[in-house]
Amino acid sequence: MKKYNKLIDSLDYNEYLLALEYYHKECIGLLEEGIIDNLKGNIKKKYEFIKQVATIGKQKIEDIITLFKDSRVYKFFSAIGFSFKKLYSMLKVGYKNYSKLQHIIAEYVANTKVAKWTEDQIRKLDKYLQNHPVARKMAGPVISAILIYIWLNMAFSGDFVADFDFTDIINSAMGKFSLGDIFTGPEGIKLLTLFFIGAGLGLSFPWPGEQSYQLVTGVIISLKRMIRK
């Protein structure tokens, strides 16, 4: 099964690189006539997605190509199914569950009187979340949606989200990430501190639709910051 999954991943990545090559050649006038019209299936979907992001993002073509060639960018695009419609749906899920999670943690803090977050306190919180009737249902795609929601929403603030690794988002989408994992490490503790002070993140849901300019721009900005790191 692992070999099969690797084969699928390899095929999907090669299709992505081919679609990216077609878009690049089209932009610089080196693409043979008729190739785009004959694209089908996954390659066509990836090509249209790349073109959509690049067009709305209004970046230099060479910058876009360099950015999109990074394997982490591919992994992110793959996680959202090369679809901003799916990403928008995930953001709505993330927004809804972020509010629930904030309330649950605030409740925990009120009951335990936590003054400072340490690794030991995080382990206790993790155990609490695993047994909470609402939090324990937040697994896999829900956690991934929360991470993506926070990541994109904070992209404009220049805060710790610039250090986010897509591995967390990908792993949570595959069910390999727990809520407690979100809060490990120095950046996790920082996030937890912001949860502790209530609405410290000031997160909102600013995008009116799946084709929103702000959404695409936010993705481009976030990806650039991640790559620079």
Residue 187 within a domain: yes
Residue 50 within a domain: yes
Mean pLDDT calculated for residue range 2-21: 74
CB atoms within 10 A of CB 100: 15
**pLDDT per position as a tens digit, 50-60:** 998 888 777 78
Rounded Cα distance, 140 and 78, in Å = 16
Q: What does pLDDT average to over the chain?
A: 77
Structure tokens at 35: 């190739």
Domains in the chain, number: 2
Please report the sign of the dihedral spanned by the C-alpha atoms of residue 104, residue 140, residue 218, residue 88: negative
Q: Looking at the structure, do residues 94 and 59 belong to the same domain, yes or no? A: no
**pLDDT per position as a tens digit, 77-130:** 888 889 888 888 888 888 888 888 888 888 888 888 887 778 788 888 888 988
The pTM for the full model equals 0.69
Q: Looking at the structure, do residues 41 and 99 belong to the same domain, yes or no? A: no
Residue 75 within a domain: no
Structure tokens at 76: 């992110």
Confidence class for position 161, pLDDT limits 50, 70, 90: very low
Q: Looking at the structure, do residues 94 and 174 belong to the same domain, yes or no? A: yes
Q: Which domain holds residue 64?
A: 2-69
**pLDDT per position as a tens digit, 202-214:** 666 655 554 466 6
Residue 77 within a domain: no
**Nearest Cα to 146, choosing from 193, 100, 91?**
91
pLDDT of 19 > 90? The answer is: yes
pLDDT of 17 > 90? The answer is: yes
Write down the pLDDT at residue 158: 46
Write down the pLDDT at residue 229: 57
